Amino acid sequence: MATKTEQSTINEYSQSVLKYIRDRPRLRVLLLVGPTVGLLVAFVIVPVLIMLWYAFLTGLPPADYTLENFARIFDPLYLGIIWDTFLIATGTTIFTVALGYTLAYSMVRFSTKTTVLLLLVILPFWTNYIVRMYAWINILQADGVLNWALNSVGIVEGSQRFMFSHEAVLVGLIYVWLPLAVLPFYASIKTMDEDLIEAAKDLGAGPLKAFFTVTLPMTKNGIYAGLILVAVPAFGAFVTPALLGGTGSVMIGMVIDNQFNQAFNWNFGAALGVFLTLVVLASLLLAVLAGVEDKILKRPETEGET
Amino acid sequence: MNINTVIGPVERFLEDHGKRVGFLILLPLFLFLWLPIIVVAFMSFADSVLVFPPENFTLEFYHIFLDNSQAWSAIFTSLQVSLVATPIAVALAIMYSYAFSKYDFPGKGVITVLIAFPLVVPLIVVGIALTLLFGMFGGTGSYWEVVIAHVVRILPFAALIILPSFLSFDTTLEEASKDLGANSITTFRRVTLPNILPGVIAGGLLAFTMSFNEFVYTYFVRGTGMETLPVYLWGRIEHTMSPEINVISIVFLAVALLMVAVAVLITDVERIAIR
């Protein structure tokens, strides 16, 4: 138990510490931001650099340096997988962005129960990823829901093979990332100034024209955000292709998992990780540059119109 | 001119039937989002998941789940990780957001990029990178390594939700409090915190949910020791199809429902949905 004098000494002490910190704004910022930055540097940046280092080694350190791991990526087997990954990830991104934007737009413009709908979008998003994939196994498997439904309507006869295909992986990935894409789209459409649409309509534009000339350009930042949020995980996916694609549709993330957990070739796994990171960062850079370019090109035109 | 003759009727149709068109768009999309989840819930009462429609309905697999000590230990492991990782991430996010909204400091832009970095690098890459780091220090997926992985994973999301509540907060209230003689800690506790609380709680709930659902980082980092519920689920799915897995899925669904319900009660939907 602290006595009264001890208590007041502690108070005085903490007061003087507070004053010391108050008089030093830089120290204050350091104390506030330092832990977050330290954590991210130590457990994101440093690990990624270590991964880069491993990618150039012949084995676990200490080991010799080599370019062998990167050369192996260009083996036709892996090139094929990389191409499939690219196709599936691009397809996922295009479909998810299109569907997500449609969904977000319809929610904002056509519905009065936006709050309820928003809830219905985030609940699947807050549900486990593996659970959502398992749901699709229930649907796509040989005697699953889809085959039953198609048979009862009479579209197909007998059990069709839906699992273990590119299409199954594509549907699974679109399903998983659709809610995540809807949110930035929703935010940008919701917060945009609706008077501009009214103005466009007053000036004679119909809903379609108003959409393409006003809404779409105004919500561009939201579209980029959604694009990035979907494209990054789609390129790196390994749970979905493992469960829905199996050997029928292998993606690069599955190969990385394999190298780590089955083949125990950490160096090749690291090289594939570096490669994947570079591909994703390059795609993002391209998207950003395309966006910037777009803005620069658009400017004289809009100035001409006003 | 030509294009207008085509678009014109479409435009008029949309003008007149906007509501109905909206419904026709929204219905299939929401079915797409919810049908798989409904199927999981439905099939958790089936006697076998291999054939749809199931022949018999039973609660047997709920009993099997309740008696499954491995599943329960995985749930407790998940809670042990998430209930520790979440407050750490939220505290860091609050400190960072406080500094970000109040001060200009060198490297602010770089730090913003740093925080977003885990979002623009695929999960599997940071997952294996963390494994390599811990492996170098002889780590075998101990408890704290898994917790650190979870904090790294959920911190950016917590920060992205909590930061706006600091930015939109009226700072003159803090100055008034200080003018009236309160020190910075009292001011933070009595003035700042109550104002940012809805954002903090929303951020915390999302962070907890993400941590409870987190699979990829845990899967790579855990070694042999730690089995969280998603990792357990993954192991089960690789081997069999069973209604019990659908029952476990219902646990995840219930947690998500509970978190969203609490979040909605405390703050508004927009805040938990939009970052």
A133 plus A33 within the same structural domain: no
Chain B residues close to A61, C-beta within 8 Å: 136
- Interface check B23 vs A, CB under 8 A: yes
Do A192 and A105 fall into the same domain?
yes
Residues of chain A with pLDDT under 70: 1-4, 291-306
From residue B141, give the alpha-carbon distance in Å to each of B87, B137, B221: 21, 11, 5
The letter for the amino acid at A209 is K
Whether residue A103 and residue B25 make contact (CB cut-off 8 A), yes or no, is yes
**Whole-angstrom distance, CA of residue A60 vs CA of residue A44:** 20
Cβ–Cβ below 8 Å for A186 and B39: no
B256 touches chain A (CB under 8 A): yes
pLDDT in tens, B200-259: 998 999 999 999 999 999 999 987 678 999 999 999 988 788 889 999 999 999 999 999
pLDDT score at A293: 55
Give the count of Cβ contacts less than 8 A between chain A and B.
282
State whether A43 and A157 are in the same domain. no
Please, what's the largest Cα pairwise distance for chain B? 73
Q: What is the pLDDT of residue A4?
A: 67
The two three-digit tokens of residue B15, written as one number: 């003008």
Residue B111: enclosing H or E segment and its boundaries?
Answer: helix B108-120
Angle in degrees, CA A162, A163, A169, rounded to 5: 105
Interface with chain B: mutation pick from A20, A45, A46, A130, highest number of B CBs within 10 Å: A130
Cross-chain residue pair A126–B213, CB shorter than 8 Å: yes
- Is the same domain home to A115 and A230? yes
Give the CA count within 13 Å in the CB-facing half-sphere of B161.
28
Residue B112 domain-assigned?
A: yes
Q: Are residues A89 and A225 in the same domain?
A: yes
Residues B37 and B72 in one domain: no
By CB atoms closer than 10 A (0-12, 13-18, 19+), residue B80 is middle
What would the pLDDT profile of A10-41 be if each residue is shown by its tens digit? Answer: 778 877 877 777 777 788 888 889 999 999 99
Mark whether A28 and A80 lie in a shared domain. no
User: What pLDDT is stored for residue A304 in this prediction?
Assistant: 36
For residue A286, what are the CA distances in angstroms to A229, A281, A292, B258? 15, 9, 10, 40
Domain assignment of residue A81, given as a range: 74-292
pLDDT at A301 (0 to 100): 40
3-state secondary structure of B57: strand
Q: pLDDT at residue B275 above 60?
A: no
Q: How close B69 comes to chain A (CA, Å)?
A: 20
- Convert the pLDDT of each residue in A81-135 to its tens digit: 999 999 999 999 999 999 999 999 989 888 888 888 999 998 998 999 999 999 9
What pLDDT score was predicted for residue B11?
72
What does chain A come to in residues? 306
Do A140 and A249 belong to one domain?
yes
Residue A92 included in any domain: yes
Specify the CATH number for the domain of residue A103: 1.10.3720.10
Which amino acid, one-letter code, is at B186? T
Tally of domains within chain B? 2
Count the Cβ atoms, other than its own, within 10 Å of residue A305: 6
- Within this chain, do residues A282 and A162 fall inside the same structural domain, yes or no? yes
- Of A15, A30, A56, the residue that ends a domain is A56
Do B140 and B230 share a domain, yes or no? yes
- Residue B24 at interface with chain A, using a CB cutoff of 8 Å: no
B90-144 pLDDT per residue, tens = 999 999 998 988 888 888 888 888 988 888 899 999 999 999 999 888 777 789 9
Full residue range of the structural domain in which residue B38 is found = 3-44
Which residues 205-244 of B have a C-beta within 8 angstroms of A? Answer: 206, 209, 213, 215-216, 220, 230, 233-234, 237, 241
CB contact under 8 Å between B272 and A187, yes or no, is no
Supply the pLDDT for residue A47: 95
How far apart are the CA of B37 and the nearest CA of chain A, in angstroms? Answer: 6
Rounded Cα distance, A111 and A126, in Å: 23
Are A125 and A248 contained in the same domain? Answer: yes
- pTM of the complete model: 0.89
- B38 in the same domain as B128: no
Query: Does residue B83 fall inside a structural domain?
Result: yes
Q: Supply the CATH number for residue B218's domain.
A: 1.10.3720.10
Q: How many CB atoms lie within 10 A of CB A306?
A: 4
Residues A153 and A222 in one domain: yes
Q: What's chain B's Rg over C-alpha atoms? A: 24
- The confidence score (pLDDT) of residue A291 equals 67
Question: % helix / strand / coil in chain B, to the nearest 5?
Answer: 80, 0, 20
Tell me which residues of chain A, numbers 85 to 124, contact chain B at a CB-CB cutoff of 8 Å. 99, 102-103, 106-107, 109-111, 115, 117-124
